[in-house]
Amino acid sequence: MLIGEVARRSGVSTRMLRHYDALGLVRPSGRTVGGYREYSAEDIRRIFHVESLRSLGLSLRQIGLALKDPALTPSDLVSDLIRWTEVRLEREQELLRRLRAIDASAPADWPGVLRVVALMQGLDSTSAARRQQAIMAGPEGTQVPADLLADALLGEADPHVAGALRWALARSGDGGLRVLAVGARSSDVDIRRRAVLAIAAMPEAVEGAATLTDALGDPDGVVRRCAALALGRRGVIAAVPTLVGMVVEGESDIEASEVLGTLSRDTGYADRIATALADELAVYTADSAVRIRLAQALVELSGTTGRDALRHLTHDHDPAVALVASTFVGVLDERSHRNPATADHTSPDPTARSG
């Protein structure tokens, strides 16, 4: 069969068939009297072998080795192909990420594109100082792609650079929340911590609140505590059990107490919060340090239930706890005296100040 007929039937161009011949991949078995290439049935089968291997991504050189060296097993080449393909896909994904970031920045001109590219290059730097500088400078005159910042934050180990990224994200409104929400579900605890901390620093949004609420059940205490503080500041009552647990455990207990106090200003929440703290007093009767921390939380609350629990503590078997409680009751009484609107309308315990 002549080369033109082979090309027509196989779909391989005559130019490529000549190239195969020059490389020694598929050399026609014969020649016509006029010197034209003449392919046998075996030659055509070899052409299809070459094309099949090319479809797997093998180079012509690799195909030549595979067809020439019987000791070269398919698994060797296929394993190499898998590795090369994975590397290529990673590069393609990175290119796609960059293109999407540029598209999200909605640049009006090519200088705008170059400014976003400069930001991406800065974020990819091995120097933490350069990464931080790129974030703080930002692409002037161009919208900062929030998803790009969020993605960089999830992988940022340097605390100063991470802080700059959180600052930049907070300025972008609720941009980047989709990426951060995915990070909050990561199997890597460090990524979850970065994600929740960033969401906590961002403006309130439904998606952000939902992610923080889910984080209250995280197995990592840092994630739970960060989510609880953020939700409590946003008035979400679901954070109360975690916040009370923080007071008991002595983990950011001052912050937790302040947030519980803020939540208790809602009259519908005040008694519920005070009861949760008072219940812990009954559990930790032998741990004076815990009872003192609970007293410190109770003094932050609005309503009468917390004050009643404090007055009860003025008779605590530990003199240190009783003294702290008495001091706090005095503070509350003085506060009520100055502002009658906050009074609990109960008579002060005459023994409260005696300690």
Predicted pLDDT of residue 351 = 38
Predicted pLDDT of residue 108 = 78
Claim to verify: residue 77 and residue 67 sit in the same structural domain: no
**Residue 30: inside a domain, yes or no?**
yes
Claim to verify: residue 242 and residue 318 sit in the same structural domain: yes
Claim to verify: residue 167 and residue 286 sit in the same structural domain: no
Whether the pLDDT of residue 345 is over 50: the answer is: no
pLDDT above 70 covers what percent of the chain? Answer: 93
pLDDT digits (tens, 9 = 90+) for 100-124: 888 877 777 888 788 888 888 999 9
Claim to verify: residue 94 and residue 188 sit in the same structural domain: yes
Claim to verify: residue 50 and residue 82 sit in the same structural domain: no
3-state secondary structure of 183: helix
Claim to verify: residue 80 and residue 190 sit in the same structural domain: yes
pLDDT digits (tens, 9 = 90+) for 141-160: 667 788 889 999 999 999 99
**Residue 218: inside a domain, yes or no?**
no
**Residue 274: inside a domain, yes or no?**
yes
Final residue before a domain boundary, out of 173, 208, 243? 208
Radius of gyration (Cα) for the chain, nearest Å?
A: 35
**Residue 12: inside a domain, yes or no?**
yes
Domain of 288, in residue numbers: 235-355
Predicted pLDDT of residue 215 = 97
**Residue 225: inside a domain, yes or no?**
no
**Residue 223: inside a domain, yes or no?**
no
Total number of domains in the chain: 3
Claim to verify: residue 17 and residue 87 sit in the same structural domain: no
Claim to verify: residue 40 and residue 161 sit in the same structural domain: no
**Interatomic CA distance for residues 189 and 135, integer angstroms:** 24
Report the candidate in 235, 163, 342 with the shortest Cα–Cα distance to residue 149: 163
Claim to verify: residue 90 and residue 183 sit in the same structural domain: yes
User: For the domain that residue 10 is a member of, what is the CATH number?
Assistant: 1.10.1660.10
Claim to verify: residue 81 and residue 186 sit in the same structural domain: yes
Final residue before a domain boundary, out of 40, 72, 104? 72
Task: Judge contact between 253 and 297, C-beta under 8 A.
Answer: yes
Predicted pLDDT of residue 340 = 63
**Residue 230: inside a domain, yes or no?**
no
pLDDT band at 235 (very low <50, low <70, confident <90, very high): very high
Predicted pLDDT of residue 103 = 85
3-state secondary structure of 37: strand
Sign, Cα dihedral of 75, 81, 87, 90? negative
Q: What is the mean pLDDT of residues 36-59?
A: 89
Predicted pLDDT of residue 342 = 52
pLDDT digits (tens, 9 = 90+) for 168-196: 888 876 778 999 999 999 999 999 999 99
More confident residue, 334 or 14: 14
Report the candidate in 214, 219, 220 with the shortest Cα–Cα distance to residue 239: 214
Q: Which residue type does 191 have?
A: I
Predicted pLDDT of residue 348 = 40
**Residue 219: inside a domain, yes or no?**
no
Claim to verify: residue 250 and residue 311 sit in the same structural domain: yes
Final residue before a domain boundary, out of 54, 72, 90? 72
Claim to verify: residue 63 and residue 77 sit in the same structural domain: no
Whether the pLDDT of residue 355 is over 50: the answer is: no
